[in-house]
Chain A
Amino acid sequence: MSVIPRRRRGAAAVALLAAGLLVATAACGGGSSGKKSDASGTAKSKGKVTLTFWDWDPNIDKVVATWNSSHPDIQVKLSNPAGGDQLVAKMITAHEAKNGPDIAKVEYQSLPALVSKGVVADITDYTKDTVTRYDDATLKSTVFQGKVYGVPQDVAPLMLFYRTDLFAKYGLSVPKTWDEFAAEAKSVRSRAPRSYLTNFDAADPGWFTGLAQQAGADWWSTTGDSWKVDIADAPTKKVAGYWQGLVDGGSIAKNPSFSPQWNKQMNDGTLLSWISGAWAPAQLGGIAPGTKGKWAVAPLPAWTAGDPATGIWGGSATTVTTDSEHPAEAAEFASWLNTDDAAVTEQVKQINVYPAATSGRSLPVLQAAPAFFPNQPDFYAEVKKVAPAARSFPMWGPDVTVTFTGYTDGFSKALQSGGSFSGALDSMQNATVADMKKLGFTVG
């Protein structure tokens, strides 16, 4: 599970107010281990080493404890300063103050941005064996221009999670295509007027990005040192138009996900399905605790029947920062965490990740159902079936946050005041290109 709703930016807000109107206080990020910069080569450090590790996965402490008990010379100190995008902001601030962690969990879409800001280190030299444990499709997310910037933790293909009990009650069948999905959305409204098949979430861009990927969108692509940004491309416009139709027809709900309102709807059966990443079982326990055993997973509906393509939502890598004095040891831990069978097994059990490492995908632990899905023992088999056809963008852009803010603001506004989704895509495209040019990237 890798996705933390990006709008949970809470606490730091208070700090800003306290500083009056002055932003400069940003520099007081929380750092820990005193470090001096040194340009150590590939040589390992002598003696006992303590590494700091930033990660927001629940229960990751148990996995770290396993490492610590078997590696007395390389002790890893875990802390959880924030999750998702908020952690990215903290990493950048900490890097400016030269007191970042040694190791950090980074979502794939944030990695190019952190590399471009010089926060995440090139660990090619330390991961020569590690990379052989992954397939090429997975490595695309962490290897840029032949250099390795992280060890993949999980992959999260976009799938359809649905309420088996309510589907049976209302006589619905699991939609195999988007046409069927639209028809079912309509029929839900007539059979259960208080319920909706799903909601259009304008707050979190992750799911929409995955839908665009499924349709074949390439928001960012590269030729040499130059970027091509194509957020308002034909596949994305097709996806936007499809959902605009559902929204305008009143077939689906319009309120954002990850809100108290949505939690209640998910719990009380107002919403019958959720388009989400493979990490959903770990999240559903918190979102809708009363629905244990009532959900099942199915492949995402297809644009043409039988096409297995899907997108991704989330997925992360373990990275080493440029501030680390012990990159070799840090990379060793990152490799162990994501490729060692015992470590990966523990992660599947504790965090419900679908492993990124090739060998991790055949672990016996994946035979068992996730705790929240006791009714679906073949859960991971379903995920494994669709994973090879999950496509991402050729590369994530270096300023994804600008694009994502554009999504949230643009689509929210369209839902609130009846604007068009297509127009929102155009402004996302413009804002992204403007920001990249401002930073000095070559945009072709």
Chain B
Amino acid sequence: MARTTTPARRTGGFPYLLVLPAVLLFAAFVVAPGGYALLLSFQRRKVNGGLLGGGTHTVFAGLANYRDVLGDSDLWSGVLRMLALGAVTVPATVFFALLFAVLLDLERTRLKRITRLTIFLPYAVPGVIASLMWGFLYLPATSPIGGDRVDFFGQVAVYFSVGNVAVWGAVGFNMIVIYTALRALPAELSESARLDGASERQIVLRVKVPMVMPAVVMCTLFTVLAALQVFNEPNTLKPLSNAVSSTWVPLMKIYDDAFGNSDIYSAAATSVVLTAAALAVSFATARIIQSRVQQEAA
């Protein structure tokens, strides 16, 4: 057929068809449950009456759940702990990921493949398993790394112990992201820098690292998001010691409200608050880092 069509007519509804699966999945697994959680957050369960309540019904609670949630000191201490934990995990994860990526990228480095795989491997270990494994390493009775002399679950130490599990699991993935960006840099860049008399260290710090900054930014964002959602590590380590309470971080509080106390309404309200905060923080983080990168590039 030699018929010609204008571009607009040729495409028709096709682009919409292409994005349809993504939109449907987003609607089914993000918008719908999100909307349901929002709905729940304005409700509350009340017993019907009598000694045992005689069944329950839900009532419209207005903003009462939000008032309770925002006034709950447990949640705020949880937020503080989450921030303290993030202060450990975010810089450590990004720093080690960048360090390992740069080292792997050096020409002198030997056994690159096996090293890369070894550093990446912890990422493949599910968080719960990793936490259990580290738990055994920390506990005095089972520790091969001096848990009988050092209290890994001490008041301050516990942040580093929990953070360590998260960092251990996340470094590999972030390293690969940065390493891939490093490999994509044209070899001529390093070469010309070398010809200009730059040392290996200068090439890394002045040429390579600035050029992979976008990848580092992305890793930072990933890590910040992970820090806001921290749950697996402290929740798995909880039964091993007295150091981690059931509301240690905000997600644990949500979990405890929903599944421990069967109060999905409070849990929904906390979730909505936390989601809003997480969105705000991630946008802000992205903005700040992005603008700094642009400044440096300029």
B210: CB under 8 A from chain A? no
Q: Which chain A residues lie closer than 8 Å to B54 at the CB level?
A: 116, 118
Cross-interface CB contact of A439 among B46, B136, B260, cutoff 8 Å: B46
Given A10-B236, A256-B239, A417-B155: A24 and B51 interface contact (C-beta under 8 Å): no
B268: CB under 8 A from chain A? yes
A203: CB under 8 A from chain B? yes
| Interface contact A13-B235, CB-CB below 8 Å | yes
B258: CB under 8 A from chain A? yes
Q: What's the dominant secondary structure at chain A's contact region?
A: helix
Cross-interface CB contact of A260 among B142, B235, B268, cutoff 8 Å: B142
Selected interface stretch from A278-286, A352-360, A408-416: A408-416
B199: CB under 8 A from chain A? no
CA of A226 to CA of B47 in the docked complex: distance in angstroms? 13
CA of A116 to CA of B268 in the docked complex: distance in angstroms? 22
- Contacting B at CB under 8 A, from A10-46, are 10, 12-14, 16-17, 19-27
B264: CB under 8 A from chain A? yes
- Contacting A at CB under 8 A, from B213-266, are 229, 231-232, 235-236, 238-243, 245-247, 251, 254-256, 258-262, 264
CA of A259 to CA of B236 in the docked complex: distance in angstroms? 11
For A91, the closest partner residue in chain B by CB is B262
Given A20-B30, A23-B254, A256-B241: A118 and B56 interface contact (C-beta under 8 Å): yes
Q: Which chain A residues lie closer than 8 Å to B229 at the CB level?
A: 17, 20-21
Interface string of A242-268 (1 = CB under 8 A from B): 000000000000111011110011001
CA of A27 to CA of B37 in the docked complex: distance in angstroms? 11
| Interface contact A408-B271, CB-CB below 8 Å | no
Q: List 16 A-B contacts (CB under 8 A).
A: A9-B255, A10-B236, A12-B255, A21-B275, A26-B264, A89-B259, A116-B53, A118-B54, A224-B51, A260-B135, A260-B141, A265-B141, A398-B47, A401-B261, A417-B155, A440-B49
| Interface contact A259-B53, CB-CB below 8 Å | no
B272 CB, nearest partner CB in chain A, Å: 9
| Interface contact B239-A203, CB-CB below 8 Å | yes
Q: Which chain B residues lie closer than 8 Å to A202 at the CB level?
A: 242
| Interface contact A258-B141, CB-CB below 8 Å | no
Given A13-B128, A21-B229, A258-B239: A225 and B50 interface contact (C-beta under 8 Å): yes
| Interface contact A439-B53, CB-CB below 8 Å | yes
